[in-house]
Structure 1
Amino acid sequence: MKRTTLSLIAGATALAAVTGFAALTAPEGTAAPEAAKTTTRLPVERVGLACPAPSSSEVAETVYTSYTPPGTEAGKAPDTGGDGAGRPTALLRPAAGATADGGTGKDGKKPAAPKAPATVTAPGKPVTAEANGAAVPALTGSATGALAPGWTVQQTTVVPAGGSRGLLGLTCGAPDTDFWFPAASTAQARHDYVHLTNPDDTAAVADITLYGPEGVLKSQFTEGIPVPAHSTVPVLLSTLTAEPAQRDVTVHVTTRSGRVGAAVGVADDKLGSDWLSASADPSGSVVLPGIPADASSVRLVVFAPGEDDADLKVQLSTANGAIVPAGADTLHVKSGMTTSIDLPDLTRGSAASLFLGPEDPKRPVPVVAALQVVRGKGDKSEIAFIPAAGAISARATVADNRAKSSTLTLTAPEADAQVKVTASAGSGAGTPVSKTVTVKARTTTPLADLAPQGLKGAYALTVEPVSGGKVYAARTLAVPQDGVPMFTVQTLADDRGTVEVPSAHQDLGVLD
Structure 2
Amino acid sequence: MKRTTLSLIAVATALAAVTGVAALTAPDGSATATAQAPARLPVERVSLLCPSPSRSEVAETTYTSYTPASTGKGQTSETGTGGAKTAHAELTPAAAAATPGETPAKKPKAPKAPATVSKPGTPVTAEADGATVPALTGTATGTLAPGWTVQQTTLNPAGGSRGLLGTGCAAPDTDFWFPAASTAKQRQDYVHLTNPDDSAAVADIELYGPEGALKSQITEGIPVPAHSSVPVLLSTLTGDPAQQDVTVHVTTRSGRVGAVLGAADDKLGSDWLPASADPAGTAVLPGIPADASSVRLVAFAPGDDDADLKIQLVTPTGTIVPASADALHVKSGMTAAVDLKDLMRGEPGSLLLTPVDPKKATPVVAALQVVRGKGEKQEVAFIPAAAAVEGRATVADNRAKGSTLALTAPGATAEVRITASAGSQGGTPVSKTVTVKAGTTTSLTPPVPEGLKGTYALTVEHLSGGPVHASRTLELPRDGIPMFTIQTFNDDRSTVEVPAARQDLSVLDD
Q: TM-score, normalised by structure 1?
A: 0.91
The letter of the residue matching 1:52 is: P
Cα distance in 2, alignment partners of residues 365 and 188 from structure 1: 32
Q: Is the 8 A contact 2:407 2:471 kept in 1?
A: yes
Cα distance in 2, alignment partners of residues 412 and 321 from structure 1: 10
Report the alpha carbon displacement of residue 20 of structure 1 after superposing the two structures with TM: 10
The letter of the residue matching 2:44 is: E
Match of 2:124 in 1: 127
Cα distance in 2, alignment partners of residues 25 and 219 from structure 1: 57
Q: Is the 8 A contact 2:110 2:128 kept in 1?
A: no
The letter of the residue matching 1:155 is: Q
Match of 2:191 in 1: 194
Structure 1, residues 121-151: CA drift from partner, whole Å, max 9, x if none? Answer: 1100110000000010000010000000000
Aligned length: 487
Report the alpha carbon displacement of residue 508 of structure 1 after superposing the two structures with TM: 3.4
Please give the residue correspondences for 1:66-465 in structure 2 after superposition, counting only pairs within 5 Å: 66-72=65-71, 73-76=74-77, 78=79, 86-97=85-96, 108=106, 110-112=107-109, 117-221=114-218, 223-465=220-462
- For the structure 1 residues 511 and 488, does the alpha-carbon distance in structure 2 shift closer, same or farther, using more than 3 Å as the test? same
Match of 1:54 in 2: 53
The letter of the residue matching 1:92 is: L
Cα distance in 1, alignment partners of residues 26 and 123 from structure 2: 50
Structure 1, residues 78-118: CA drift from partner, whole Å, max 9, x if none? Answer: 57668xx942011110001269997976xx4x123566623
Percent identical residues: 73
Q: Is the 8 A contact 1:43 1:77 kept in 2?
A: no
Q: Is the 8 A contact 1:77 1:145 kept in 2?
A: no
Gap regions ≥5 residues in structure 1: 1-18
Report the alpha carbon displacement of residue 467 of structure 1 after superposing the two structures with TM: 1.1
SS in structure 2 at match of 1:146: helix
Structure 1, residues 290-316: CA drift from partner, whole Å, max 9, x if none? Answer: 000100000000000000000111100
Gap regions ≥5 residues in structure 2: 1-18
Report the alpha carbon displacement of residue 21 of structure 1 after superposing the two structures with TM: 9.4
Q: TM-score, normalised by structure 2?
A: 0.91
Cα distance in 1, alignment partners of residues 488 and 111 from structure 2: 30
Which segments of structure 1 move beyond 3 Å, counting only runs of 4 or more? 19-27, 30-35, 76-82, 98-105, 112-116, 505-510
Match of 1:3 in 2: none
Q: Is the 8 A contact 2:280 2:364 kept in 1?
A: yes
- For the structure 1 residues 431 and 78, does the alpha-carbon distance in structure 2 shift closer, same or farther, using more than 3 Å as the test? closer
Report the alpha carbon displacement of residue 402 of structure 1 after superposing the two structures with TM: 0.6
- For the structure 1 residues 26 and 264, does the alpha-carbon distance in structure 2 shift closer, same or farther, using more than 3 Å as the test? closer
Report the alpha carbon displacement of residue 507 of structure 1 after superposing the two structures with TM: 3.5
Cα distance in 1, alignment partners of residues 143 and 134 from structure 2: 27
The letter of the residue matching 2:456 is: Y
Structure 1, residues 363-415: CA drift from partner, whole Å, max 9, x if none? Answer: 10000000000000111000000000000000000000111110010000001
- For the structure 1 residues 80 and 361, does the alpha-carbon distance in structure 2 shift closer, same or farther, using more than 3 Å as the test? closer
Q: Is the 8 A contact 1:20 1:503 kept in 2?
A: no
Structure 1, residues 235-293: CA drift from partner, whole Å, max 9, x if none? Answer: 00001111110000000000011100000011100000000000000000000000001
Q: Is the 8 A contact 1:79 1:86 kept in 2?
A: no
SS in structure 2 at match of 1:244: coil
The answer on 1:44 being equivalent to 2:43 is: yes
Q: Is the 8 A contact 2:389 2:490 kept in 1?
A: yes
Cα distance in 2, alignment partners of residues 240 and 87 from structure 1: 44
Report the alpha carbon displacement of residue 35 of structure 1 after superposing the two structures with TM: 6.1
SS in structure 1 at match of 2:187: coil
Cα distance in 2, alignment partners of residues 475 and 210 from structure 1: 29
SS in structure 1 at match of 2:376: helix
- For the structure 1 residues 350 and 366, does the alpha-carbon distance in structure 2 shift closer, same or farther, using more than 3 Å as the test? same
- For the structure 1 residues 129 and 116, does the alpha-carbon distance in structure 2 shift closer, same or farther, using more than 3 Å as the test? closer
Structure 1, residues 304-330: CA drift from partner, whole Å, max 9, x if none? Answer: 000000011110011110000003111
Q: Is the 8 A contact 1:417 1:469 kept in 2?
A: yes
The letter of the residue matching 2:75 is: A
Match of 1:64 in 2: 63
Structure 1, residues 147-194: CA drift from partner, whole Å, max 9, x if none? Answer: 000000000000000111000000000000000000000000000000
Larger radius of gyration: 2
Match of 2:16 in 1: none
Report the alpha carbon displacement of residue 502 of structure 1 after superposing the two structures with TM: 1.2
Report the alpha carbon displacement of residue 338 of structure 1 after superposing the two structures with TM: 0.1
Cα distance in 2, alignment partners of residues 57 and 507 from structure 1: 61
Please give the residue correspondences for 1:492-503 in structure 2 after superposition, counting only pairs within 5 Å: 492-503=489-500
Match of 2:11 in 1: none
SS in structure 2 at match of 1:380: coil
The letter of the residue matching 2:439 is: R
Cα distance in 2, alignment partners of residues 495 and 230 from structure 1: 23
The letter of the residue matching 2:212 is: G
The letter of the residue matching 2:323 is: A
RMSD of aligned Cα (Å): 2.3
Match of 1:14 in 2: none
